[in-house]
Amino acid sequence: MRIWCKLIKDNHILRDAVMENHDISTSRTGKVYDCLEKACYEFDLEKPFWLEKNKQDFIRHARTRFTKDNFIEEIPFDYLEFQVIEED
């Protein structure tokens, strides 16, 4: 699985990275959480909370946006976009 993670502010990409997990013994959900954890480490962010809206967006579209409502700390961007670009 490959996931594209982007920090967006004022409709511009501040930073982006592609996270990968190809472990066949891990479930899809496990791969998603692992990639999110790697992205947060890469961007030096706390892990966001998955709200019901995020879960539904990800199930329907294989992408979601984490906004300030998903973080405890203040964030210096508008949202973190999290999108699957390749499934195993």
Q: How far apart are CA 83 and CA 33, in angstroms?
A: 12
Q: Tokens at residue 33, please?
A: 């959480």
- Find tokens 């203040």 and name the residue: 74
Looking at residue 88, its pLDDT comes to 84
Q: What is the pTM of this model?
A: 0.92
The alpha-carbon radius of gyration of the chain (Å, integer) is 12
Smallest CA-to-CA distance from 58 within 38, 78, 87 is with 87
Give me the tens of pLDDT residue by residue for the chain, a chain 88 residues long. 999 999 999 999 999 999 999 999 999 999 999 999 999 999 999 999 999 999 999 999 999 999 999 999 999 999 999 999 999 8
Helices (H), the chain: 28-43, 52-61
What distance in Å separates the CA atoms of residue 12 and residue 73, rounded to the nearest whole number?
Answer: 22
